[in-house]
Structure 1
């Protein structure tokens, strides 16, 4: 299943999350909406590609450590292979094949899947009027340009503070005692440097593709001088428009720097920290939910993560719903999600066919 998601998951982390909810919560009922929301919120607390980490965490939820490895690798590999092929074309021809036709039809379909997921998750996550108010404030802050990490951790702090005041009012000053969270050759040399640089980025990067762009610019253009600014922009563009994790941008740059060995090592390096972090996080998520104070933090993270997902959806809607045909695709997809249990892969395939047909006839 995660292999298929890796092949069809266009649209970035918000779309990936919506597709995973559609498959695992709505269609297969492997996890509840509350559990899905907790895992989604928890992965926002660690660095790395959040949607990939969510896939890894869901794999562990279903089949333990073997599931963790299988889900993560299956979600990453299709995108890594596709990006490697596009990188080969780029190196040989100097440009990447146009994908605008496919995206024209796919984006409205993916947007509808995100909206449907938001509606379902909202009923679970926004369990009180003040959590809904917090989500609205978080959405407004995000749209005004406040950094998503500030929004995310600010929301967690607000909910924890509200719960703390309530406990104090009920039980007295003792309620303010908070638990502590403890939380060889020149080519070989270049490959080693490439691996360590991508490993560092995967281990410390929070945020969107724009933050990834800044890290890649700083290391590969300014510090190492291996690629140009335009090549980094091309790599990020390929990562954005292909299905699967945006972090496969590393695969593209790895190929440009050192061919197939570079593509492989860059991919392994940038995703390896995610497997480690999620492996550690699986031991903490239940603990976080089982205690009142940390449960409040998780509620705040869930509400603000949902708001960030809505903010990304609004931005995606502005670029994807551009004419009556795309609006119709969006509406028909919502209708199909409401009235049927059709596999989301068929909906995305139908959107892609419409986009290709329009591209060929236009």
Structure 2
């Protein structure tokens, strides 16, 4: 009798399916409040969509999150696209994904313009010294957070160390590291499955049932069923949307123009950005600074500091890179106009693939849920991401704390090492303050950024 009563109460507690207008308002709210990186954004969506509104059940939410963890790109935005798509088909996914990005992109564009005009003002320069110190502490915290979850045994630790050495010492490209880690994980699932079992995302709360679960029971999720015709339609629509502008720019401006370089480089990043923004930033920083010459090392850290203060995906820092790249090679355009177009192009080729991955892959990825080999490959990739983010933390630390850095090479390979006599004692002190505020006082990311920027301003005065 108790079970029947509980089931009845559960059925009554599930609300009606929200209208598209109601969902749009909630997605806009999430887009404006999605600070704190992917962990904070996923927690926000869980609270808004699972706990408070019951639009999606606990298990389905975690199921969708597993899908997105298998894909390249910002998993929080893809989770929003996926849930919006489940409830309101393609239009719902578009609205959820766009509103997740647009608020942060507009803020980032404004901050980028201010950065260009006022970057070299003494007080602004001093404030950015504090921001860089805070960013260093935030990236170290990300290493510890990801490592605690991913490095569960000696095999995962070995993969992380190998990935760190590969990118820091040997300068092996990030995509190759990810591919190698996935291959190791797949082989590990066959040879030592106990060491390469999937991470999973187990919920600790009650098994909440939501609107989407009721839609499934009523047979209203036909659009989520795998279909070859639907898959071909998605490819025919979204591949031109994503790559069409890049091909057009290549035809108009040539293969060596800054527009073609931005489009092709960030399109390739959209395919290999497993592990989120922190994982890919080290590779982007090396390519943007050493390869293309778009930025100086300190500017990449500045861009990450700006991205940390905006809502939306942290990978919006790539917009800042595209902004500066186009501004410094504008051709016949006004530099700021070119910079805004560079930022728009970067956003386009970075986030358009996210819609393709969800609309095309979600129905098929569901059939792979529980696949041991795929889960093991993901575990190995996540461990490799820890090593890559370790490299990012060290790269940032060297360029924040030391004024001069030189490359130590043997046979053409080797890491960047600091010149110890060039240590910036103020930067070192601010980094220590940032670590104290973040790790000991546990005040969070935004307060740490604010405190360190304020201290930097005091130093400037």
TM-score w.r.t. structure 1 length? Answer: 0.67
| 1:304 positional shift | 0.4
Q: 1:112 touches 1:331 (CA, 8 Å); kept in 2?
A: no
The 1:74/1:216 distance shift into structure 2, 3 A limit, reads: farther
The 1:28/1:113 distance shift into structure 2, 3 A limit, reads: farther
Map 1:137-152 → 2, pairs under 5 A: 137-147=162-172, 148-152=174-178
Q: 1:139 touches 1:307 (CA, 8 Å); kept in 2?
A: yes
Higher normalized helix content (fraction of residues): 1
Please tell me whether residue 359 in structure 1 is matched to residue 460 in structure 2: yes
For residue 109 of structure 2, the aligned residue among 62, 67, 80 is 80
Map 1:136-215 → 2, pairs under 5 A: 136-147=161-172, 148-166=174-192, 193=253, 198-205=262-269, 207-213=283-289
| Distance in 1, Cα, partners of 2:143 & 2:64 | 15
Task: Please name the residue that 1:174 is paired with.
Answer: none
Task: Please name the residue that 1:297 is paired with.
Answer: 377
Map 1:1-362 → 2, pairs under 5 A: 19-24=36-41, 39=68, 42-43=71-72, 53-54=74-75, 56-60=77-81, 63-64=84-85, 65=93, 66-87=95-116, 89=117, 96-97=120-121, 99-147=124-172, 148-166=174-192, 193=253, 198-205=262-269, 207-213=283-289, 216=292, 232-233=294-295, 238=299, 240-242=301-303, 243-244=306-307, 245-255=317-327, 257=330, 258-259=333-334, 260-282=336-358, 283-284=361-362, 290-320=370-400, 322=425, 323-337=428-442, 342-360=443-461
- Listed as ranges, the gaps of 5+ residues in structure 2 are 1-29, 48-57, 86-92, 194-231, 236-248, 273-282, 308-316, 402-424
- SS state at 1:290 partner: coil
| 1:69 positional shift | 1.1
- SS state at 2:71 partner: helix
**Which moves more between the two structures, 155-164 or 313-322?**
313-322
The 1:112/1:70 distance shift into structure 2, 3 A limit, reads: same
Task: Please name the residue that 2:415 is paired with.
Answer: none
| 1:161 positional shift | 0.8
| 1:308 positional shift | 0.7
| Distance in 2, Cα, partners of 1:38 & 1:351 | 37
Q: 1:38 touches 1:302 (CA, 8 Å); kept in 2?
A: no
| Distance in 2, Cα, partners of 1:302 & 1:287 | 22
The structure that has the greater radius of gyration is 2
The 1:344/1:240 distance shift into structure 2, 3 A limit, reads: closer
| 1:118 positional shift | 2.9
Task: Please name the residue that 1:223 is paired with.
Answer: none
Deviations 1:200-256 (A, max 9, x none): 333234631232356756xxxxxxxxxxxxxx446x864542312134232234345
| Distance in 1, Cα, partners of 2:356 & 2:250 | 31
| Distance in 1, Cα, partners of 2:290 & 2:431 | 32
| Distance in 1, Cα, partners of 2:185 & 2:96 | 33
- Listed as ranges, the gaps of 5+ residues in structure 1 are 7-18, 44-49, 168-181, 184-188, 218-231
| Distance in 2, Cα, partners of 1:331 & 1:27 | 26
TM-score w.r.t. structure 2 length? Answer: 0.54
- SS state at 1:278 partner: helix
The 1:199/1:36 distance shift into structure 2, 3 A limit, reads: same
| 1:166 positional shift | 4.4
Q: 2:135 touches 2:301 (CA, 8 Å); kept in 1?
A: no
- SS state at 1:117 partner: helix
